[in-house]
Amino acid sequence: EDQVTQSPEALRLQEGESSSLNCSYTVSGLRGLFWYRQDPGKGPEFLFTLYSAGEEKEKERLKATLTKKESFLHITAPKPEDSATYLCAVLGAAGNKLTFGGGTRVLVKP
């Protein structure tokens, strides 16, 4: 069974204080690892897909990386608008569902 564990559960940062979120996973036949952002009262919003170890993707202050066992979401010089819950999910060999981690709640204080 596919499993995803995210750490830490919560992260408080000062504006400009860079940090990393971890996503550890076990999956049979990785078709893709996905990062989403979720704001309170809204549905998850797609950020990145990573397909193979060594791959990196960037978007503004966010950078996602992938190894065979984990993914990192690096937040560089965060701003208060980066405050959200970040979700990691894997798509396994069957291709019929995303398995999500519990998320990391990020709060960036000005």
Partner 1 sequence: EAQVTQNPRYLITVTGKKLTVTCSQNMNHEYMSWYRQDPGLGLRQIYYSMNVEVTDKGDVPEGYKVSRKEKRNFPLILESPSPNQTSLYFCASRQQGPSYNSPLHFGNGTRLTVT
Asked if omega into 8 is within 30° of 0 (cis), the reply is yes
Please report where in the chains the tokens 């937040």 appear, as a residue: 75
Work out which of 54, 68, 81, 96 binds partner 1, going by CB under 8 A: 96
Binding segment toward partner 1, per CB under 8 A, in 15-23, 56-64, 75-83, 85-93 = 85-93
d(CA 9, CA 21): 9
48 vs 82, which CB is nearer to partner 1?
A: 48
Structure tokens at 71: 């993914």
* Smallest distance from partner 1 to CB 8, Å: 15
How many CA atoms within 13 Å lie on the side-chain side of 97?
Answer: 5
Question: For the chain, how far is it from start to end, CA to CA, in angstroms?
Answer: 41
User: Is the peptide bond between 80 and the residue preceding it cis, with omega within 30 degrees of 0?
Assistant: no
The nearest distance, CB 15 to partner 1, in angstroms, is: 28
Applying CB under 8 A, does 45 fall inside the site for partner 1? yes
Choose between 34 and 78: whose C-beta lies nearer to partner 1.
34
Q: Could you list the residues that contact partner 1 (CB under 8 A)?
A: 31-32, 34, 36, 41-46, 49, 51, 87, 89, 91, 95-98, 100-103
